Structure 1
Amino acid sequence: MIQDPIFWKYVKDAEQEFSGWNFSWVTDSGRMKVQPLSWNFEQMIVPHIRQSQSMLDMGTGGGEFLSSLQPFPPSIYATEAYAPNVPIAKERLEPLGVKVVQIDNDDYLPFTDQQFDLIINQHEAYSPSEVRRILQKDGWLMTQQVGGLNDQQINQHLHKPLNQEFIEWNLATAVAQLEKNHFEIVYRKEEFSTERFYDIGALLYYLKAIPWQIPNFQIEEHMDDLYAIHLLIQKQGYFEVKQHRFVIHAQAK
């Protein structure tokens, strides 16, 4: 049994409820910090939003990011696959004129052919062929994705393999899929940025929010490894990992 009251305080602390797609409980307090990417996804998409007439936000979470992008086009929809987020998104977005649609299959989106001239997608899975179907000719897909090598140092320290479902997901793979489905790639970039956790509670909170990083993660099964990370943080002040991100601007042809 680990005899360290500070460690156990942080473990208990991580039981804080997570909802929507909001990490402010650990980011605003400085317990977790992420090195900025060389691009700013919001600045990239806002000019396109201002020119759009019909827009879709894929994977809106709780609507936190989309709500910050006003004013909106005349027609705007948002999808969300994670059921607990849907009422949160509707409460936030529907008063702003956004139609929120729950989905459960990337290969079928409940929209008509060529319904949108702009689709934005931040960290959401998608089917290239289905996105092309609902996008108008010369319309834009603008996406920032989490790569398959994301946060791999967490898995290494907890002696868990990376999720094999996503391990090959990277810029080259995404570009090839989009080009195969009649998209022209106008801009692309891939980076590994630094992410630091300043206490073990922040890391546990983060793992709870992204269950695909270590599927079926249970604190009790990893107590010794977690304590080793805690001691590392106590020694050097932080636990550092690398985020895997890539961004693509693609135009339908």
Structure 2
Amino acid sequence: MATTRTFEDLVAEAEAASVDGWDFSWFEGRATEERPSWGYARAMGERLARVSAALDIQTGGGEVLGSAPRLPPLTVATEGWPPNVAKATALLHPRGAVVVASPEDAPLPFADEAFDLVTSRHPVHTYWQEVARVLRPGGRYFSQQVGPASVFELVEYFLGPQPEEARNGRHPDRARAAAEAAGLDVVDLRSERLRIEFHDIGAVVHFLRKVIWMVPGFTVDEYRPQLRALHERIEEKGPFVAHSTRFLIEASKPRND
């Protein structure tokens, strides 16, 4: 459905909006995305309720971890981006969770076999050897991850056709192989392709500012001609449709017996 707002107005609003944390409420009424059938937040909450020590890696602003009805007595979250560290701390400290500022590409700053459960929603990269190291025997890693060629209709609109390695770099089969190479047993692996609709150009701009790895170095100034053309396309033909891919992986560390 066409908007009555100008391209400049929509873009300016999206540029001014905060992109801290993983709160996507700004998109309400402007973009939609199907959700995976497995219900990651609910399933994570069920697992958190059954353990005594848990680690959430790359927690963002702590929104998903904070949605759990019950947190274990020892709950730790890591995050590498300073604005998100502050946001996660404000959200999770009142629940008794500790937030540790830790770069995404550094070893986890915890002792061996420290946790019964390690979780992560949409990690930039999974360091499987580190996950295996900090899990106790019998412990589990539970994660929802971005799959191959996710939202590539939008990526390729701006960047052009992508090489096969970029399209399949996040394939769930690779995650299985990496988990098994680290000594973990994969007990569940599921994937789904999900429809996304962007209803105005502001939603596109906000998405690319928030999910920064989609179009690396994205700025409105650099891509203004493409953004304006996409705005006109949405106004004329309706929402821009893309598809995200998600996979759920659960892996167990073998017991010592």
TM-score between the two structures when normalised by the length of structure 1: 0.92
1:61 paired with 2:98, answer no
What CA distance in whole angstroms lies between the structure 2 residues aligned with 1:32 and 1:187? 30
Q: Which range is displaced more, 89-98 or 217-226?
A: 217-226
Aligned to 2:138: 138
Aligned to 1:149: 149
How many pairs are equivalent? 248
1:32 paired with 2:55, answer no
Aligned to 2:208: 207
Give 2:174's aligned amino acid.
T
What CA distance in whole angstroms lies between the structure 2 residues aligned with 1:45 and 1:235? 42
Give 2:147's aligned amino acid.
G
Give 1:222's aligned amino acid.
Y
Q: Quick check: 2:79–2:104 contact (8 Å CA) kept in 1?
A: no
Where does the alignment leave 5 or more consecutive residues of structure 2 unmatched?
none
Q: Which range is displaced more, 105-114 or 69-78?
A: 105-114
What CA distance in whole angstroms lies between the structure 1 residues aligned with 2:166 and 2:102? 20
What value does the CA root-mean-square deviation take over the aligned residues? 1.8
Q: Give matches, 1:9-24, under 5 Å.
A: 9-15=9-15, 16-24=17-25
Distance 1:191 1:35, change over 3 A: same
Where does the alignment leave 5 or more consecutive residues of structure 1 unmatched?
none
Q: Quick check: 1:162–1:213 contact (8 Å CA) kept in 2?
A: no
Percent identity between matched residues is: 32
Deviations 1:113-163 (A, max 9, x none): 100000111011221011000001110100111124111111221234559
Q: Quick check: 1:103–1:109 contact (8 Å CA) kept in 2?
A: yes
Give 1:54's aligned amino acid.
A
Deviations 1:60-95 (A, max 9, x none): 111111111031111110000112211111111111
Aligned to 1:75: 74
What CA distance in whole angstroms lies between the structure 2 residues aligned with 1:220 and 1:159? 15
Q: Quick check: 1:106–1:126 contact (8 Å CA) kept in 2?
A: no
Aligned to 1:48: 47
What CA distance in whole angstroms lies between the structure 2 residues aligned with 1:14 and 1:225? 16
Deviations 1:181-219 (A, max 9, x none): 111111111122111110000110110001111111122
Shift in Å at residue 20 of structure 1? 1.5
Shift in Å at residue 166 of structure 1? 7.7
Give 2:185's aligned amino acid.
E
What CA distance in whole angstroms lies between the structure 2 residues aligned with 1:157 and 1:187? 34
Q: Give matches, 1:1-253, under 5 Å.
A: 6-15=6-15, 16-27=17-28, 30-124=29-123, 125-160=125-160, 162=162, 167-253=168-254
Give 1:159's aligned amino acid.
L
Q: Quick check: 2:197–2:239 contact (8 Å CA) kept in 1?
A: yes
What CA distance in whole angstroms lies between the structure 1 residues aligned with 2:162 and 2:79? 25
Shift in Å at residue 26 of structure 1? 1.4
Shift in Å at residue 47 of structure 1? 2.1
What CA distance in whole angstroms lies between the structure 2 residues aligned with 1:184 and 1:44? 19
Give 2:26's aligned amino acid.
W
Deviations 1:211-243 (A, max 9, x none): 111111122222222122112211232011111
Give 1:95's aligned amino acid.
P
Q: Quick check: 2:42–2:68 contact (8 Å CA) kept in 1?
A: no
* Structure 1 residue matching 2:212: 3-state secondary structure: coil
Q: Quick check: 1:10–1:200 contact (8 Å CA) kept in 2?
A: yes
* Structure 2 residue matching 1:219: 3-state secondary structure: coil
What CA distance in whole angstroms lies between the structure 2 residues aligned with 1:153 and 1:130? 33
Give 1:146's aligned amino acid.
V
Give 2:111's aligned amino acid.
T
Q: Quick check: 2:158–2:215 contact (8 Å CA) kept in 1?
A: no
